Amino acid sequence: MNKIITLAIILLSIFSCKNKETTKVDVSDIDVEVLIDRFDQKFFTANEKTLQELKKQYPYLFPIENDSIWLQKITDEEGVILFNKAQKVFENFDNEKLQIIDLFKHVKYYHPNFKSPKIITLINNLDYQNKVIYADSLLLVSLDMYLGKNSEVYQDFPMYLAQNYDKSQLVVDMANAISENYYKPNNQRQFLNSIIAEGKKMYLIDSYLPDISDAQKMGYSTEKMEWVNANEEQIWKYFIENEMLYSTDLDLQTRFITDAPFSKFYIDIDKDSPGRVGVWIGWQIVRAYMKNNNVNLQQLLQTNTEEIFKNSKYKPKK
């Protein structure tokens, strides 16, 4: 039994090492300022008098509505419940701040003109489509979307989504939002173009968060991450044999790129697969390209799909 446990630990260590393919960079001398504004606390402790000051201080958070609407929101039962839960999960922001500092340092390393946005925390009534919004000088974060996957407030959400509603994913979602500002995919509809475009974005996040696991970056459980690693060759073989790479069938987007409980191969393995395996394959192609070519991150973002695919010399792990 002890030998089996030891072997398992060794295999796990090897597996973890394989996830760290991004080149580490020294960001120790990069200075960034991280300002975290707990607007959620200010809003839910406001009254009729202090509301006026909040509206003056944060005009962009108050669309034109009667004050009675905002006062009603302050005492809304659902909002108060979410606020109270968020205060327990985010009693302080110390650990998150350290992660954000590291994120901002890496972003600034790769994009010297990057200016740290002010982080404003919100309670946004479980708006899962807008967990983090990056708008130049602001980074809006809905804390009620990071209360922990087992929180009862997510009981109506499918598990493949709820598993990422945890504060451990907050910095990943921030990196994802920031990456949108530096990479704009083109409008080519070929499947290969789509997965490599997604791969570029994942490589950006890779570069911003070198110490975060691949599973977290993909939003996969450990089991789902192990599945894609074990089945990489079979996934790639399926794409090739079914002549998908140059297909413009939009159905491939929903089958292999968009969020879903599983990918749709329409064979027995569907139930075991995670969603978005096309994103993961695209990421491996981009990683292979960066490993086999002397280019930097900025050059990668400007390189077209065919050049990346051809020069990646991508070969899936068997």
Q: Note the pLDDT tens digit of each residue in 177-220.
A: 999 999 877 778 999 999 999 999 999 999 999 999 999 999 99
Is residue 1 included in any domain, yes or no?
Answer: no
Q: Looking at the predicted structure, is the pLDDT value of residue 10 above 60?
A: no
My answer on whether 154 and 49 are in the same domain is yes
- Higher-confidence position of 296 and 19: 296
254's tokens:
């929903």
Last-in-domain residue among 157, 179, 201: 179
- Residue 8's pLDDT is what? 38
- Give percent above pLDDT 70 in the chain: 93
My answer on whether 129 and 173 are in the same domain is yes
Residue 107: alpha-carbon gap to chain centroid:
15
- Residue 11's pLDDT is what? 39
Is residue 244 included in any domain, yes or no?
Answer: yes
Backbone CA torsion sign across 201, 131, 275, 230: positive
- Residue 22's pLDDT is what? 57
Q: Looking at the predicted structure, is the pLDDT value of residue 298 above 80?
A: yes
Last-in-domain residue among 145, 179, 213: 179
My answer on whether 234 and 283 are in the same domain is yes
Mean pLDDT across the stretch 30-34?
A: 96
My answer on whether 112 and 233 are in the same domain is no
Is residue 172 included in any domain, yes or no?
Answer: yes
Mean pLDDT across the stretch 88-92?
A: 94
My answer on whether 60 and 94 are in the same domain is yes
Whats the size of the chain, residue-wise? Answer: 318
CB atoms within 10 A of CB 122: 21
Which residues, in sequence order, are CB contacts of 24 under 8 Å at separation 6+? 210
161's tokens:
């989504």
My answer on whether 200 and 172 are in the same domain is no
My answer on whether 154 and 222 are in the same domain is no
Is residue 26 included in any domain, yes or no?
Answer: no
Mean pLDDT across the stretch 229-234?
A: 96
My answer on whether 297 and 212 are in the same domain is yes
Mean pLDDT rounded to a whole number for the chain: 91
My answer on whether 298 and 250 are in the same domain is yes
Decide: 118 and 139 in contact? Cβ < 8 Å: yes
Which residues, in sequence order, are CB contacts of 73 under 8 Å at separation 6+? 79
Per-residue HEC secondary structure of the chain comes to CHHHHHHHHHHHHHHHHHCCCCCCCCCCCCCCCCCEECHHHHHHCCCHHHHHHHHHHCHHHCCCCCHHHHHHHHHCHHHHHHHHHHHHHCCCCHHHHHHHHHHHHHHHHHCCCCCCCEEEEECCCCCHHHCEEEECCEEEEEHHHCCCCCCHHHCCCCHHHHCCCCHHHHHHHHHHHHHCCCCCCCCCCCHHHHHHHHHHHHHHHHHHCCCCCHHHHHCCCHHHHHHHHHCHHHHHHHHHHCCCCCCCCCHHHHHHCCCCCCCCCCCHHHHHCCCCHHHHHHHHHHHHHHHHCCCCHHHHHHCCHHHHHHHHCCCCCC
Is residue 2 included in any domain, yes or no?
Answer: no
Mean pLDDT across the stretch 108-116?
A: 96
Mean pLDDT across the stretch 139-154?
A: 97
Mean pLDDT across the stretch 6-18?
A: 38
Per-residue HEC secondary structure of 74-87 comes to HHCHHHHHHHHHHH
Is residue 111 included in any domain, yes or no?
Answer: yes
Q: Looking at the predicted structure, is the pLDDT value of residue 18 above 50?
A: no
Q: Looking at the predicted structure, is the pLDDT value of residue 90 above 90?
A: yes
- Residue 20's pLDDT is what? 46
- Residue 317's pLDDT is what? 82
My answer on whether 174 and 232 are in the same domain is no
My answer on whether 175 and 204 are in the same domain is no
Axis crossing angle, helix 232-241 with helix 277-292, rounded to the nearest 10 = 100
Q: Looking at the predicted structure, is the pLDDT value of residue 9 above 70?
A: no
- Residue 1's pLDDT is what? 37
What is the total count of domains within the chain? 2
- Give percent above pLDDT 90 in the chain: 86
> Rounded CA gap, 258 and 160, in Å?
12
My answer on whether 169 and 195 are in the same domain is no
Give, in degrees to the nearest 5, the angle at Cα 146 between 85 and 12: 125
CB atoms within 10 A of CB 196: 28
Residue 133: alpha-carbon gap to chain centroid:
12
Is residue 31 included in any domain, yes or no?
Answer: no
Query: Beta strand 132-135 with 138-142: parallel, antiparallel or unpaired?
Result: antiparallel
46's tokens:
């406001």
Range of the domain at 245: 191-312
- Residue 13's pLDDT is what? 37
Last-in-domain residue among 179, 214, 238: 179
Is residue 20 included in any domain, yes or no?
Answer: no
